[in-house]
Amino acid sequence: MARRWFWSLRPATVREVADAIFANFLLHWFPARMRASSLAWTPTFWLGTVSWVLFVVLLLSGLPLMVFYIPSVEDAYRSVKDIEHVVSFGWWLRAVHRLAAHGMVITTTLHLARVFVTGAYKNAAEGTQRREWNWVIGVAMLFGTLLLSFTGYLLPWDQLAFWAVTVGTGIASSAPAAGAVVRHTLIGGREIGEATLVRFYLLHIIALPLAMAVLFGYHMWRVRKDGGLARGDAADESGDLPSIPPVIRRIAVVTMATVLAVTVLAILIPSPLLEPANPGVTPNPAKAPWYFLWLQEVVADTTVRLGPVHVNGALVGGVVLPLALTVVLTLWPWLDRSPAAAAGVTFARERRVQNAVFLAVALAITALTVVGLMRGPSWGLWWPWESWPSMPTRF
């Protein structure tokens, strides 16, 4: 009886491995056999799996938070305060949700970087492979992750959330002609208020999660159609192994490790909750969310006035630079002329120049983010161990 009901969990033959995969929607994402190197930890660090686990953690932790949260300007802050101090383990659920969101931004970015430096967006063989389109889906998922985090940033409706979103949407509004329209559409008016909160809430709990789930489903289907993990022929001489159950065991290990890490960090790192949002009191400094700090730093550094010459930093940092990077990043699989043999090879010699440029840009963005984190009152630089002086808030 156990064999009849649970044979797919412990297949005894190669035929049963294949049957288990073909009969199961989730397992069908994986080929019946995989190269031994693809099952190792180091080629991918399983960053894609970690990102998906964090997304599921966000969904599971978000559901109970939705029960207690009230998406209105009058009640949002109070409901979050009740979650933090009245609801049993509400503080922990909120911390789990917040840390999972930040972690998903980091792991999704690292996953995309890993795919780039290995050239895994390239087709190693002629035929049905369309890895370049899966790269485009990956870029879309990165931006979806950023939007998920950004829309959730406003929901506590405290000073930190309100002014972070104010700065973030202000950067977007610097685009010529369309900037004001984009900001008006995003926040639902000229100022951040009730319409903004409701729009961000619906985007955060319905539209963006559904879009991310669809993109992930297509992403995994495309990986399956393209033959699994991209590995260069010269770099991989390992044999094939049955993918089930080894891949399931590894996914289970990654899932448990990720959930454990988020659980422990949520106990150690509480979620901030400042005073209620006050549009009439501007904090000093007012910062964008941490993943947009590098853009805010570019805006501040490129705003220059030399006599009659005025460089609009908001246009440079808010429109020109991010748009150029996005276009180049999206189209890079078609711009990369390295040979097919370099596909799936980490830091292949044929791709050393483009990898060096990519890592230089990534390092610059990281450095600008760190500098942005160190900004204090009047946008001055302060070491983490230094105390900020008392500065009057701007009315």
377 Rama class: left (phi>0) / alpha (psi -120 to 50) / beta: beta
Cβ neighbors of 389 (< 8 A, separation 6 or more) are 377
Q: What is the pLDDT of residue 23?
A: 65
> What tokens appear for 370 in the block?
């760190």
Angle of helix 293-302 versus helix 352-373 axis, rounded to 10: 80
Q: Is the peptide bond before 71 cis (omega within 30 degrees of 0)?
A: no
DSSP secondary structure string for all residues of 152-202? HHTTT-BHHHHHHHHHHHHHHTTSTTTHHHHHHHHHTSSSSSHHHHHHHHH
Q: What is the pLDDT of residue 361?
A: 97
Q: What is the pLDDT of residue 30?
A: 72
Cβ neighbors of 292 (< 8 A, separation 6 or more) are 150, 167, 168, 171
Overall pTM > 0.85: yes
Distance CA 180, CA 173 (A): 5
Q: What is the pLDDT of residue 2?
A: 45
The single-letter DSSP state of residue 173 is T
Whether 349 contacts 274, CB under 8 Å: no
For residue 173, give the nearest of 193, 159, 192, 198 by alpha carbon: 192
Q: What is the pLDDT of residue 268?
A: 96
Return averaged pLDDT per consecutive 10 residues of the chain, 395 residues in all: 57 74 66 76 89 97 96 96 96 97 97 94 75 94 96 94 89 72 84 93 96 93 79 57 82 96 96 92 90 91 72 77 94 91 88 95 97 91 84 56
Helices (H) and strands (E) in the chain, counts: 15, 4
Cα–Cα distances (Å) from 27 to 17, 107, 111, 370, in that order, read 10, 23, 22, 41
Compute how many other C-beta atoms are within 10 angstroms of the C-beta atom of residue 324.
Answer: 10
Rounded to 10 degrees, what is the CA torsion of 288, 186, 192, 199?
-110
Cβ neighbors of 185 (< 8 A, separation 6 or more) are none
Q: What is the pLDDT of residue 1?
A: 41
Please provide the size of the chain in residues: 395
Beta strands in the chain (DSSP E): 33-35, 240-242, 304-306, 309-311
Q: What is the pLDDT of residue 169?
A: 84
- The one-letter amino acid code at 372 reads G
Distance CA 50, CA 313 (A): 36
Distance CA 110, CA 53 (A): 15
Distance CA 376, CA 328 (A): 33
Rounded to 10 degrees, what is the CA torsion of 213, 215, 220, 224?
140
Q: What is the pLDDT of residue 271?
A: 94
Q: What is the pLDDT of residue 27?
A: 63
In three-state secondary structure terms, 232 is coil
Q: What is the pLDDT of residue 284?
A: 86
pLDDT tens digits for 310-360? 667 777 887 889 999 999 999 999 999 888 888 888 898 999 999 999 999
Whether 104 contacts 149, CB under 8 Å: yes
Whether 350 contacts 327, CB under 8 Å: no
Residue 325: φ, ψ to 5°:
-65, -40
